[in-house]
Structure 1
Amino acid sequence: MSRYSPFLMPGLLGAVLVTLPLVSRGNEVMVIVNDRSPDRHRVLLPGESILHGGLGPAILVRGRDNSVTGSNITIVSDSGAPNAPGGGVVVQGGAATLRDSTVTVHDNDGLGLNANSSNGPARIDVTGVAVETFGNGGIGALANGADARVELINSSILTHGTYASGLLAMREGARISAADSRIVTEAPGTAGAEVVDTGVLDLSNTQIAVTGARARGIASYASVAGSRSSITLSRGSRVDTQDGEALLAAGGDHVFTLDSSDITARAGGAVDGGLLLRSQSSGDAIDLRTPSGSATSPDIATGRIQLNAAASRLHGDVLIESGSADITLGRGSVLTGALIERGGGRVNRLALDASSVWNVRADSSLAVLDNAGTVAFVAPGAKGGFKTLTVNQYIDGGLLVLNTRLGDDASPTDRLVIDGGSATGRASLRIINAGGSGAQTTQGIRVVQTLHGGTTAPDAFRLDAGSTGFRQSAGTLAVNGYEYSLVRGGQGGAAPDWYLTSAPYTPAPPAPAQRQEMTPQLAVQPQAPASRPAAAPWRNVSPESGAYIGNQLASAAFFTHGLHDRVPSCGACGEARDASAEGGASYRGIWTRVQGRQDSGLRMAEGRVGIERSSQIVQLGGDLLTAPLGGKGAVHLGLMGGYGSARSTSTSSLALPGGATAQARARGKVSGYSAGVYGTYYQDDASRMGAYADGWLQYGRFNNRIDSELGSARYDSTVWSASAETGYALQPFAERSPLGPLVVEPHVQLVYSHYDAQDAVLQGTRMGEGNPGAWDAHAGVRMYPAAIAGAPAVRPFMELDWLHRFNTPSVRMGPNTLAAASSRDRLELTLGAEGRISHRLLVAGHVFGYEGRGGQHGYGGMVDAGYRW
């Protein structure tokens, strides 16, 4: 729909004015100042009201040297004629100045303020003035023609009719300036401001708010070829629309300059679909004003559009349907929207300085992206998925933020497409994991694609440290145990494209030593050196998996012990118990033990992850009840508690693109307390010969921590554990033989532990126990000399055990479960001594070492003491 344009009205207005009467001062119906007026510089009385009910404006100034000045004036214009517009203040040459006044116009196509240079330079200056129009097609303030000026300071314009305009500057040399002001339109098809045919609009700390359907913020358009309009917003100016373009460019050239200003465009009240800037030919744009007497606007193609923003925030899409646009973001400016090319329109260039950001909210395309700042794809949500940005040239590096659902090759991702051009510089790619659980890729996830001969430099892109799960030491992304690398060409992909790949790599073998050339003494046919076998590829696995398992194993093993760890073998104490009394004598006792150990060689089943662990514990307990049972036998029941701490180091060898390798580490720490009960039965409580049975039940609560390049995670865990052990002490050799005093004690033990822990979260990687229940079996033999009266109080012992784990520890990382390498069997040798310090105080100490399948090994030592009464 086209709207009436006022710039061919002087003839009509002059014809109307010859019929208008002049009335006396007071409540005047019209004020006219022209060359024939006795007072060519009219000063209105403060508080004066001009209530105009006829045709034409309430105040008319005509002539270069004529003027009207007023303060605290009330102006109301309402002609009542449907096709004869009225007006507030019209200056056709000369000047009008108003302060602290109101101008109200009720007519259709009525003009609140109109500076028209048809009779010489025209200027209207208002300060603290409220302009309000009610009719359809009304205009709050108009500057029409060369040397036409309207300046508003601390003023407001409010329009209520359809197709109305708050501000309108038309023709070359026309200028409207507004400072500390507010422009509001409230009906469909309106515009907060319009600039036509090389007009100029300058807004400083001024707000434009348009609320109707298809209501534009600022429309800049041409009715004649060769026009170049200029719009400037500064000092906190703001434009808000509810259902229309914030900026429209139609026909000719347009320069939009924003400094410390905000623009927000909406569609149907929603900010997601609003248009920040739309470019059309003037014939395609709707709701433009047409020259008087014309039914339609001439169709003029748009040429060049410049949008230069500094320290500004822009929200809305850019749609270029005619001409080309160059956009510059500087001094911390932020653009949130898409760049859309349609129907021959072109986004020629977008340039960002180091402090500026473009948030890409939909598929976009442009010719040149000059990015020294940040281009961030908006995260996919309910109203938008993953996006593609297509450019011909990408230059100047900068930061690209892409959302990728890190998984296998088919994972959806935001993508940069180089169409027929090149990507140069050294851009950082910040990959944000959008709900991916990690998986093994084949070729990789393509994040940069080339089309139609596009190219990328070998160093055009690199992973940014702000990426989800970024590991600085290796330059990889850790996601639930998988490590992704950014690889040009991927694993067999298009050579200039860039992929995220977690596929196994084959590291380059070390270069063979150079053979020194020597002059042969004999003519011997040289033999070809034996071919070096190719290194097997391996999957990269995050070291955090090993740190979690290290904490789990330490928690379960802290307080696991056998009977002799808790109670020294009385048979080696150098003094047999007093068995003269019927049934023997039973004792109660307290005990304590301190142990430290180092475990190494545990590996994860996948990748090359090694785990080392050191731990220390202190445990103490005491008999609550000792009761005889069956002749010489006795039962001991007691309580125990302890404290333990452990540290583990998990080291993963990561194979990187190009054959390089990197070492990545994670550290685990766990500490906590336990409490439990125990019970022991001895067939012969005095000599401790014969059979025994022992059992205990414990509960432990622990604080855990994992530290790595990904950050730190704290979580709590608990362990329930129970043990059943039995053995039999006997002297198998003849009493008087050299081995007669030797006690041989075979024993077996079965331990169950149940581990329960909170999830540990590191940058989106969620870790939990993979196999909470574990069974362990010990079977072995202990040998020591029997106590002989008068013999030394200290006696050595030796123990050899076979240890078997029925379960393989594992960690759940997201949906993936990573297990430790199978190493179920170990052989452990213990050497120590037990002795009596006094009749009641017993001490023991030992060292141990073990070797297991898969290279597991470890060592440690323990000191324990018991006191009896």
Structure 2
Amino acid sequence: MGLFATGINSIVNATDTTVFTTGSNAYGVEAIQGGTVNLTGGSVRTTGSMAWGLFASQANSTISATNVTINTTGGAGYGARAIAAGHIALNGGSITTSGSGADALITIDSTATIDAANVIIRTSGPTASGANGFYGKMTLDNLAVTTLGDNSHGARADNAGSVAVTGGAFTTSGASSFGLLATLGSTLTATNATVETTGASGIGASAQFGGHLVLNGGTITTTGTSAAGLFSVGLLSALSATPAVPTALILLDDAATPSAGPTGSTLTANGVTVRTSGTGSHGASVRGGSSLALNDSTLTVSGAGGAALYSSAYDAGASIAQISNSTLSSAQGAGIRTSGTTLNATILGSSLAGNPNLLEVVANGTLNLIAASSTLTGAAVTDAGSTSNLTLQNATTWKMTGNSNVSNLSNTSSLIDFAPPSGGAFKTLSAINYTGVGGTIGLNTFLDTDGAPSDRLSINGGTATGDTSLRVTNAGGGGELTVGNGILVVDTTNGGRTAPTAFKLAGPVVAGPFEYTLHRSSADASNTQAWYLRSTLDCSLAPNAAVCPSPPGPAPQPPVPNFRPETSLYAAVPAMALLYGRNLLDTLHERAGEPYDVGGRTDPNADAPFIGGWGRFIGMTGRRDGDARGVYGTGPQYAYNFLGLQAGQDFVRREHSDGSRDHLGLYFALGGAYGRVTHYDGITGESDVKGYSLGGYWTHFGATGWYFDTVLQGTWFDVTSNANRGLPSLTTDGAGIGGSVEAGYPINLRHGFFIEPQVQVVYQAIDFAGSRDVGAQVRFDKVDSLASRIGARIGRDWNIGDDAIRRRLTAWIRPSLWHEFRGNPLTEFSSDTGFTPFQATLNGTWGELNAGVSGQMNSNATLFAHVSYQARFEGKSYAYNGKIGARFNW
């Protein structure tokens, strides 16, 4: 025996003392019956079996060791042992044991305590833990614990013991050696501890047989095979009042040998990072009757066959896993694997991923999984005889990467998102029963003709009810007319049934020029419960009947394609651009006002200038009635508004000896057209056509006031079109050229009245670049327009002002007749059978009535304004416009 203190008044103080014992049961330092030993520095060494380095027993017995080196080599040679209300306190120093069963620290008895801080611990024998709170209490602060033997744990709370760990590192390398362990009703709490296990079946942290383990922060790393980062298992019936031999621990894949009792083990991890890399090593495992809670934690599994969360049969009760704000992933195994047991799992605000499978339920297992506000990734596999009940809530997303089957699936305000097909392989999700409550299923479909491949939901013998939106993503199909059942997206097998309102489309489904709609029942009645996509119109429904052939003949009519609203929207773009361009070209008097300084009607001032400029604002609103059949006929209906600013400069004015004149100038214009296009079914879209124009003009005025006006104009267009139904906008641009030739001959009447017959020809050509929207290539054919006008301007001139400065005022009206000879733009949509053209014809005849007024403000400035109304003779197309401008001479 080394140092010994017995009795209340017995105190031993030793500094830098060396203690060495060699016999069995020869303790290095012993305090009993209230004795006290204080050690500072020095060393304690024992070599005999059950020769403990420090031993404190009975009330008020205390050993305090500061910076002491303790070494034991015998079997069961504990480094420090406290029993029966004994207390040991260690600060600094080290403990090394090499014997079998030689724990570095151990308490036995509920009143025994050990407090250790900043101690380096190393055990090398089998079944030798770094710290074992067996039916006692321990506080461990910032320890560095290493165990080398099999079944040797870093820190262990056993048989109702209590261990509190703060900081420190716990490293085990032996087989079946755990980093942290709470078993047999004991409690272990670890805060910011670092755990690493490298041996086979080495568990990072485990609660067993009613043990309670709480982790706050810290990291756990396991690299051995058949290991786990976290493990909760085993029921507890009752504890013996006196310590017993420690119960054999349960390993990850031990066969089920059920224990009895009402108390399951619990393991709670808050803010913990777990990594496992060994083959068959799981991130977390919970077995029968026990529970696991993960909060704000991360579990990463990289070994083959390792599940992020694993549950297998042990005790008869169901296991519980509650996961909150955590991330669980397996690179080569399931997200959750349940085998031969029942697991009730809840995932809240978390991410769970497996590769390839999210869920695996096997061997007559049952998984009840509720996921809320979470992201799930992988396929779901449920083998015969097993049951999987999956509930998705509160905006959960399941990224389904492979064919999946579940027993019962509930989708409440969540998304089941099928991953894009790989190698042309589409996926099927099979469920016995499916319930949707505002949920969404994202399918990939090759949008083509009947029987095209698609992801599918399959109802296998049960029912599909509720309200689910199908979000269909085109997987490369160019669009084609379906003439039969269409494309199957929801199937039923083994008597499965679907409610009539169970499914609807989440948004437009388009490919090529076609709109695909969702239909319950096959067209041939071979599967009345299934759901199909079709690109044809049901002519029995309004407003479809308006564009279907009427009346139907005795023979069956061919299917009518369901052209999407964008066919109308884009087809109207070139037409609106032509109308805008013609409005800029305009007529001489509307463009630049009255040329009061022109021969025959000159300014009364002798010093009239010969150079001038002009500018105007343009506004127009109109409606094109289109064909009653829209793009199924000659074009859609659209309303439009034009706004523009135009300004020009006369650069050359030349007066000839006979009184005639020539004016040459340039102008620019900024503006655009905004149109609202209506498809045959009333759906409207919007196009914004911006124009940037540069033009030149030459006007010849005869001596008697007649004129010949020519204009050449180039315009660059930028176009944005959107159908206002959740699809991306189409954008394109193009260039246009236009020219106008106009002539008028005024005939002066009495009292200042005049009549001026006019003729005009306007030609335009526009070439828009091809573009692509979400469903098709869109090609705009080069379009041209040839419009002519005949009319007569009827007006009166007044001289106003005094004799010194006379000013002119002119008011007039002009009826005109227009005719468009060409103006038949074509817009083409790609499809799997080629391009399909759509027109928005402008040809036809219309009348226009203009009214204008021009007045000199002084000899150098003229203001002018004009309004007009035009209407076609067929249909209900009309337009109003208003223009105001000024002309300046200098």
2:265 paired residue among 189, 200, 207: 200
User: 1:129–1:108: structure 2 CA closer, same or farther, 3 Å change rule?
Assistant: same
Aligned match of 2:684: 665
TM-superposition CA deviations, 1:497-542 (whole Å, max 9, x none): 12233312214479xxxxxxxxxxxxxxxxxxx9998999563431
1:676 paired residue among 682, 695, 709: 695
Residue 364 of structure 1, CA deviation: 1.2
Q: Matched residues in 2 for 1:182 and 1:48: separation?
A: 25
Aligned match of 2:535: 502
TM-superposition CA deviations, 1:470-500 (whole Å, max 9, x none): xxxxxxx566654333221265463211223
Pairing of 1:483-522 with structure 2 (within 5 A): 483-489=515-521, 491-492=523-524, 494-508=527-541
Aligned match of 1:41: 86
Preserved contact between residue 436 and residue 502 of structure 2 (Cα < 8 Å)? no
Q: Matched residues in 2 for 1:758 and 1:555: separation?
A: 20
1:339 paired residue among 356, 362, 380: 380
Q: Does 1:802 align with 2:819?
A: yes
Preserved contact between residue 204 and residue 233 of structure 1 (Cα < 8 Å)? yes
Q: Does 1:699 align with 2:722?
A: no
Q: Which letter maps to 1:132?
A: T
Q: Matched residues in 2 for 1:774 and 1:724: separation?
A: 17
Taking every aligned residue pair, what percent have the same amino acid on both sides?
Answer: 21
User: 1:137–1:595: structure 2 CA closer, same or farther, 3 Å change rule?
Assistant: closer
Preserved contact between residue 262 and residue 312 of structure 1 (Cα < 8 Å)? yes
Aligned match of 2:626: 602
Q: Matched residues in 2 for 1:279 and 1:27: separation?
A: 48
Q: Does 1:260 align with 2:324?
A: yes
Aligned match of 1:209: 275
Residue 424 of structure 1, CA deviation: 1.5
| TM-score when normalising by structure 2 | 0.71
2:117 paired residue among 51, 72, 94: 72
Residue 420 of structure 1, CA deviation: 0.9
Q: Matched residues in 2 for 1:277 and 1:38: separation?
A: 43
Aligned match of 2:462: 421
Aligned match of 1:296: none
Q: Does 1:348 align with 2:388?
A: yes
Preserved contact between residue 727 and residue 745 of structure 1 (Cα < 8 Å)? yes
Q: Which letter maps to 1:544?
A: L
5+ residue gaps, structure 1, are: 1-13, 222-227, 268-272, 281-301, 470-476, 511-529, 579-584, 655-662
User: 1:587–1:235: structure 2 CA closer, same or farther, 3 Å change rule?
Assistant: closer
TM-superposition CA deviations, 1:695-726 (whole Å, max 9, x none): 42333566767573437959685643231537
Aligned match of 1:400: 440
Aligned match of 1:57: 102
Q: Matched residues in 2 for 1:808 and 1:123: separation?
A: 86
Q: Does 1:278 align with 2:288?
A: no
Q: Does 1:155 align with 2:193?
A: yes
SS of 1:559 mapped into structure 2: helix
Q: Which letter maps to 1:200?
A: S
Preserved contact between residue 623 and residue 637 of structure 2 (Cα < 8 Å)? no
Pairing of 1:360-371 with structure 2 (within 5 A): 360-371=400-411
Aligned match of 1:558: 583
TM-superposition CA deviations, 1:88-135 (whole Å, max 9, x none): 344665555534323221224433345555xxx555554444321133
CA RMSD across the alignment: 4.9
Residue 397 of structure 1, CA deviation: 2.5
Query: More displaced, 600-609 or 384-393?
Result: 600-609
Preserved contact between residue 295 and residue 326 of structure 2 (Cα < 8 Å)? no
SS of 2:154 mapped into structure 1: strand
2:227 paired residue among 190, 207, 226: 190
Q: Matched residues in 2 for 1:126 and 1:866: separation?
A: 92
Q: Which letter maps to 2:870?
A: G
Query: More displaced, 131-140 or 531-540?
Result: 531-540
Q: Matched residues in 2 for 1:667 and 1:830: separation?
A: 27
SS of 1:28 mapped into structure 2: strand
Preserved contact between residue 693 and residue 727 of structure 1 (Cα < 8 Å)? yes
SS of 1:722 mapped into structure 2: strand
Q: Matched residues in 2 for 1:796 and 1:366: separation?
A: 78
Preserved contact between residue 131 and residue 156 of structure 1 (Cα < 8 Å)? yes
TM-superposition CA deviations, 1:556-614 (whole Å, max 9, x none): 33313355654789899995789xxxxxx997665566564534223443378411224
TM-superposition CA deviations, 1:682-704 (whole Å, max 9, x none): 6xx21355x94724233356676
Q: Matched residues in 2 for 1:449 and 1:128: separation?
A: 56
Aligned match of 1:22: 51
Query: More displaced, 856-865 or 818-827?
Result: 856-865
Q: Does 1:720 align with 2:711?
A: no
TM-superposition CA deviations, 1:51-102 (whole Å, max 9, x none): 113332134758545735131263544547xxx5544344665555534323
Q: Which letter maps to 1:370?
A: S
Q: Does 1:775 align with 2:784?
A: yes
Count, aligned residues? 755
1:613 paired residue among 609, 615, 640: 640
Aligned match of 1:754: 766
Q: Does 1:305 align with 2:343?
A: yes
User: 1:384–1:173: structure 2 CA closer, same or farther, 3 Å change rule?
Assistant: farther
Residue 319 of structure 1, CA deviation: 1.1
Aligned match of 1:270: none
SS of 1:453 mapped into structure 2: coil
Preserved contact between residue 740 and residue 763 of structure 2 (Cα < 8 Å)? yes
Q: Does 1:248 align with 2:310?
A: yes
Q: Which letter maps to 1:851?
A: R
TM-superposition CA deviations, 1:267-297 (whole Å, max 9, x none): 2xxxxx54122234xxxxxxxxxxxxxxxxx
Q: Matched residues in 1 for 2:79 and 2:716: separation?
A: 100
User: 1:606–1:139: structure 2 CA closer, same or farther, 3 Å change rule?
Assistant: same
Q: Matched residues in 2 for 1:208 and 1:441: separation?
A: 53
Residue 551 of structure 1, CA deviation: 4.6
Q: Which letter maps to 2:520?
A: R
Q: Does 1:849 align with 2:870?
A: yes
Q: Matched residues in 1 for 2:798 and 2:207: separation?
A: 120
TM-superposition CA deviations, 1:3-43 (whole Å, max 9, x none): xxxxxxxxxxx9xx996152655533348689999976241
Q: Matched residues in 1 for 2:191 and 2:570: separation?
A: 66
Q: Matched residues in 2 for 1:615 and 1:832: separation?
A: 17
Q: Matched residues in 2 for 1:157 and 1:612: separation?
A: 72
SS of 1:503 mapped into structure 2: coil
Q: Does 1:238 align with 2:298?
A: yes
2:677 paired residue among 643, 650, 659: 650
Preserved contact between residue 693 and residue 713 of structure 2 (Cα < 8 Å)? no
Q: Matched residues in 2 for 1:208 and 1:88: separation?
A: 21
TM-superposition CA deviations, 1:600-639 (whole Å, max 9, x none): 2234433784112243556443432134689776543112
SS of 1:56 mapped into structure 2: coil
Q: Matched residues in 2 for 1:867 and 1:74: separation?
A: 98
Preserved contact between residue 203 and residue 222 of structure 2 (Cα < 8 Å)? yes
Q: Which letter maps to 2:98?
A: G
Q: Matched residues in 2 for 1:867 and 1:147: separation?
A: 101
Q: Does 1:453 align with 2:495?
A: yes
User: 1:214–1:833: structure 2 CA closer, same or farther, 3 Å change rule?
Assistant: closer
5+ residue gaps, structure 2, are: 1-24, 26-45, 55-67, 234-249, 251-257, 544-549, 800-808
Q: Which letter maps to 1:423?
A: A
Preserved contact between residue 551 and residue 669 of structure 1 (Cα < 8 Å)? no
Preserved contact between residue 53 and residue 80 of structure 2 (Cα < 8 Å)? no
User: 1:650–1:60: structure 2 CA closer, same or farther, 3 Å change rule?
Assistant: closer
Preserved contact between residue 471 and residue 505 of structure 2 (Cα < 8 Å)? yes
1:539 paired residue among 541, 559, 562: 562
User: 1:778–1:34: structure 2 CA closer, same or farther, 3 Å change rule?
Assistant: closer
User: 1:775–1:106: structure 2 CA closer, same or farther, 3 Å change rule?
Assistant: same
Aligned match of 1:318: 359
Aligned match of 2:841: 823
